[in-house]
Structure 1
């Protein structure tokens, strides 16, 4: 039984942490809830930072998980701009802030998220080098893109992942010139494989984006603190006025590691190791969101998922587990993206080498189709592109692990529901 004398501390003010606090109150916990965030902004959602907010289509206030008054109204003690510097598991305390304030916890949730990977090359200290992870980054980048579009400026983007491509689309809509440098042969190579990556190449090229595949940045050249060009390891030089490093994100595990919690191997995505209840190696400490590496029963492996849906559902699941509820976290990996006039949703998990074929249902040329990653007749993952309201049957196909008729799977006239046992 959880009583009013208990204190639950949440470290991390992203979507996972904010939804965990909300869930604790919704589930009737009337003890002390403390949320500590190293950003000065109230907890917010990150997808708009590379989509609607970056494009100027959404107002700043629209990104916040709750209105600012919600926290006081629900008696959630919010400490903004405060960094947790240590966890003492024996004393069950966390220490935070410049003055080393210490607070005791009964249960602790680590929702520390991830941070952008940095380019380890000369020139990254120049004023025109950018990352996109925080609201402050998006605010700055929005101003940069506006200026580049107005002045016919040129942005080089290192990395053709989701963030790189979404910013490329935004930059082109502002009117900026864009070159994307990517070591793999297609965009999103590690997520979608070459079969679907080519579709994104064609989409962006049609909108004027230039790709430089098979190369990495080796130096950013500048003068008087400003960016002038970006050089690659194959000897090319791209004159530009700004560089965006979009080479992925690393889980923020330093706090957990210093506390002696088990952390997953970095070669397999890293993250804080948790069980099906999102408990770490310390049963009084949970982890959720981008930083948590959880065992997924459907795929038979440990996953760390960096997308919005994982934070949205993982935070509440961890909160319920902290309250002693019976929780098994097995949410299907899901993410979405919008680029120009193309929207897509992806469900499942199908890394390169895990599938036999990609089955296309619909017209890929018109970019109105579904794609399925299939192994031995079983659907591992599915992506719908400009085709909507199919996520549920796609996810059921994946969950059942049933063998399907591949010809029927590819036939738009065969209802997807009819393929689900």
Structure 2
């Protein structure tokens, strides 16, 4: 075992921006369970193999409670935010299950599939605007960010006209370098904004998720105004940040694999597009800070004794490159059957919004390159600014031409 725990997160290879840090690959082969050192000096366990991660995330062997002393917070800002407010994803059952059940119906597969025509309409309108605007353009600003922002705003009942506010706040909330003070201020600002929105929905409910929570939970006393605001905050930030980064980073990856991009563009059947989405989710794993947990009981793994109360980081980015689960894992292959990836997590805490993300990405990957067949980077790939500084990986801008 390595004597000195390396600092986490580990650095990526600058020449391989789509790949996890090379040290993770070494650890997966040689030390699948090891210690790493975080910003606060703590040394949680790092788990790097696919089956081990599924084992740890399954059932109640580990806790998602960010209030526990051993919880491995990604940054001072994230620790401060969770001390101020803990959303349901950072609770354990039965509290987690009770709050999650209130939202499950709004994100069911059938309901998300029913949104496909509306998502297609938004995608086509954004592409129309893109083609009518300046060339080159920033695909993040003109397309990747507006699409999921508009969709989640319509679902939640958040005015899309206020997007500049929550986009700005989200950047602070998802930054690895934001201070505790900056992160707390951002959290308070968004909670205050959403609290005002809840008040207006309480007076005049609409056909949206905030209205349903306000009428069904706030008026009955089942949830407080702040609890609803915190839940909506999570859905709003996660609902646009993750998909926006997958659209942009997935486009960069496909532009670097022109043969596969041509197949998607020219012969993109629904099955192939669905495969492409799953493979890009696996290959890129933009939630690159890992799945954070605390051991709820003693766990024996590869000769190591993880004691109850100790922190655990499940490195899902390298677990999605485990050759035992995905043969030739470092190769992007849009024909791969990769649906068993861990990009959305695993177990009871896996991503609630994954049915929506899948539909959005399927519509995007099935439309963007067909409608703009000459889409290309407007700058050399090595000039792109990748989001090493954010908890969700992607590119800060994506200059494209056609």
TM-score by length of 2: 0.28
Structure with more of its chain in strand, by fraction? 1
Greater helix percent: which structure? 2
How high is the TM-score relative to the length of structure 1?
Answer: 0.28
